[in-house]
Structure 1
Amino acid sequence: MIQWFRRRYLELLGSIYVYNEHRGYTAIDRVIEAIKARTPLDPCFLSAIEKHRADERKHYEMFRRWFQLRGVMPFSVDRTCGHIDRFVEIMFGSSIDDLDTTDLVERDALFERLCRVIALTERRGYQQVETLLRHPIVRGDATLMRIFRIIRRDEPSHWAPYEAWLERRSVHRSTWWERCIDGFIHSELLFLKLPILFLTPQLKRRTAWCDANDATAPTAITLAGAGAPL
């Protein structure tokens, strides 16, 4: 029973990360589209966002490889477990896919709001990883521990460019309302959605990987500093 509990918890946790990391780098594609359309184009800002996108893709592939080594597919979770999905929907009244990129380009207030949402999401991700690295069940899986250490190392470079862009324009990094929404979304997942998913007996697994229709194919993943493939 203990082994079942541990296995289900880790695989559900990994499934949520698989969804969110994939959603992260595909959502950043919309941000890159908006940045390229802005005038004047800030090449340093663009470069930092492209690195963020590459890291999110790397994280997704590490979790994908973790599942492949276990010989199972992730559980089928959707946008209701996506932090950035929920944040964008609340703050913009639209799904990520339906965001009007032209509107983001033309209205500085909207682009500033988007930068704050992304920065808050990345900071939340860092805090969550710090918690998971101390979690006794996670600590029992050496591979997951290496993955989360890599994410912890990468995260600060993810929120930094958005916050720096806001500071250059003398704009607040976040508002109290945005911080409240961020906390609500996290609590909703942790105390409501995660327990419901855990206790759903016939929770289905994915039949295809999130990136099955992506333009780029998966690449081999090596854990930096681990000296061996994941």
Structure 2
Amino acid sequence: MSGAFRDRYLDVLASVYLYNEHRGYTSLDRVLEAVRLVCPDDPAFIAEIVQHRADEHKHYHMFRRWFERQGRMPLAMDRRVGHIDRFIFRTFGCEIDELDTAEITANPAEFEKLCRVIMLTEQRGYRQVEILLANGWVRSDPIMTRIFQIVHKDEPGHFLPYQHWLERKGRATARWQERLSDFWIHRALLFGRIPALFLNPALPRLERWPHEDDAAPAKAA
């Protein structure tokens, strides 16, 4: 029985991460569009965001290859398991794909808010990976463990660029309302949505890989 629970746990966990990594790198194209408009004279910051996107893309394909080794497709996930999806909706009142890049770049406060949302989401991800690396079921799978070790190593480069930019501009790196949103989103996922997926035997699997529908990747600066 414990083996079946372990396999289900890893199946759900990898499916959630695969969704979020794919959502991450595709959404960063919109962030890059905004950064290039707001910070055209800051090539180092732009390059850091380009690297962030490349890391998320790499992580997605590591989870994809894990599933290929298992001989099955990931479980079907949607925006309800996306921390950044929920955070963007709470903060901006729209889905990631509906973010108005022109409006964000025209309003410094909105751009700073976007940077804080990304920073807090990635900081949350870093802490969560540390917890997972101590999880016995994760550590029982050497490939899964190695994936999370790589994610953990890359993760600081996913929040520090935004944090440092805000600090250089003398802006707040987080407001209490944003930290509260981050906390409740994490709790809702950890104790609500994800356990419900674990207990749902009828959860379907994807029929094609998410990256097969990707648009052309953003070009580096």
Aligned length: 217
Aligned to 1:210: 210
Structure 1: 5+ residue stretches without partners: 218-230
Aligned to 1:9: 9
- Structure 1 residue 215: Cα displacement: 3.8
Q: In the alignment, residue 156 of structure 1 is paired with which amino acid?
A: P
Identity of aligned residues (%): 53
Normalised to the residue count of structure 1, the TM-score between the two structures is: 0.92
What does residue range 1-230 of structure 1 map to in structure 2 within 5 Å? Answer: 1-38=1-38, 40-215=40-215
Change (3 A) 1:39 1:50: closer
The CA RMSD over aligned residues, in Å, is 1.2
Deviates more, 1:28-37 or 1:55-64: 28-37
- Structure 1 residue 40: Cα displacement: 4.0
- Structure 1 residue 88: Cα displacement: 0.2
> 1:94 and 1:163 mapped to 2: Cα distance?
24
> 1:216 and 1:67 mapped to 2: Cα distance?
24
Secondary structure of the structure 2 residue equivalent to 1:25 = helix
Q: In the alignment, residue 48 of structure 1 is paired with which amino acid?
A: E
Secondary structure of the structure 2 residue equivalent to 1:152 = helix
> 2:103 and 2:45 mapped to 1: Cα distance?
19
Change (3 A) 1:39 1:153: closer
- Structure 1 residue 39: Cα displacement: 5.5
> 2:85 and 2:194 mapped to 1: Cα distance?
16
Q: In the alignment, residue 22 of structure 2 is paired with which amino acid?
A: H
> 2:33 and 2:103 mapped to 1: Cα distance?
12
Deviates more, 1:124-133 or 1:1-10: 1-10
> 1:101 and 1:181 mapped to 2: Cα distance?
22
- Structure 1 residue 2: Cα displacement: 1.8
Secondary structure of the structure 1 residue equivalent to 2:98 = coil
> 1:215 and 1:188 mapped to 2: Cα distance?
31
Q: In the alignment, residue 6 of structure 1 is paired with which amino acid?
A: R
Structure 2: 5+ residue stretches without partners: none
> 2:51 and 2:119 mapped to 1: Cα distance?
15
Q: In the alignment, residue 5 of structure 1 is paired with which amino acid?
A: F
Contact 1:67 1:73 in 2 (8 A): yes
- Structure 1 stretches of at least 4 aligned residues deviating more than 6 Å after TM superposition: none
- Structure 1 residue 41: Cα displacement: 3.4
Normalised to the residue count of structure 2, the TM-score between the two structures is: 0.96
> 1:82 and 1:216 mapped to 2: Cα distance?
22
- Structure 1 residue 187: Cα displacement: 0.6
> 1:40 and 1:61 mapped to 2: Cα distance?
30
> 1:15 and 1:144 mapped to 2: Cα distance?
12
Contact 1:35 1:41 in 2 (8 A): no
Secondary structure of the structure 1 residue equivalent to 2:172 = coil
Secondary structure of the structure 2 residue equivalent to 1:34 = helix
